[in-house]
């Protein structure tokens, strides 16, 4: 009887726990960046930036989305926060004071084949600031990036 009660209690606890979102993987981030660049090449920047910025579009999956920054620090497309589009964000810092856009631009200029960058940012699913690692590739005079939360 006691065992059945313990099992029933454990089952209730499991069922009452909300399901967590599916966190993206590094491989998915790399694949999405490459897919985004292919889309930009095939469709041009106007259509490409619109699709990348579409929260319901093909470049958004759970907490994974793309962003595009000009190498001057201007946000050209953002899959999670449209308020950033068109703004010069070169001096944007994370919660620890890291100038992550400035660093991203410098890394894109130095590593056109792709690179990973760590910083902290608000997870669009949990709405909490979390460590993030961002994969970026230089495309023309831009950096196309997609990241995963740790």
Tens of pLDDT along the chain (150 residues)? 443 433 333 333 333 333 445 688 999 999 999 999 999 999 999 999 999 999 999 999 989 999 999 999 999 999 999 999 999 999 999 999 999 999 999 999 999 899 999 999 998 889 999 999 999 999 999 999 999 998
| Per-domain boundaries in the chain | 23-149
DSSP 44-77: HHHHHHHHHT-TTSTTEETTEEEEEEETTSBEEE
Q: What is the CATH number of domain 23-149?
A: 3.30.450.20
Estimate the share of the chain in helix, then strand, then coil, as percent rounded to the nearest 5.
35, 30, 35
* 36 contacts 114 by C-beta, under 8 angstroms: no
Q: Is 99 exposed, middle or buried (0-12, 13-18, 19+ CB in 10 A)?
A: middle
19 Cβ partners below 8 Å, 6+ apart? none
Q: Residue 3: enclosing H or E segment and its boundaries?
A: helix 2-16
139 Cβ partners below 8 Å, 6+ apart? 37, 40, 68
The tokens of 122 are what?
């608000």
pTM for the structure as a whole: 0.84
């Amino acid at each position: 009887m006691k065992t059945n009660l313990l099992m029933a209690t454990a089952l209730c606890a499991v069922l009452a726990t909300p399901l967590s979102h599916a966190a993206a993987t590094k491989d998915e981030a790399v694949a999405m960046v490459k897919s985004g660049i292919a889309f930009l090449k095939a469709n041009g920047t106007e259509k490409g930036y619109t699709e990348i910025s579409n929260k319901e579009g093909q470049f958004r999956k759970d907490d994974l989305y793309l962003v595009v920054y000009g190498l001057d620090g201007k946000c050209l497309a953002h899959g999670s926060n449209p308020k950033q589009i068109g703004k010069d964000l070169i001096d944007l810092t994370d919660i620890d004071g890291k100038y992550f856009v400035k660093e991203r631009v410098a890394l894109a200029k130095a590593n056109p084949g792709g690179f990973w960058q760590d910083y902290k940012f608000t997870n669009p699913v949990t709405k909490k600031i979390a460590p993030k690692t961002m994969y970026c590739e230089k495309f023309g005079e831009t950096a196309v990036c997609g990241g995963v939360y740790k």
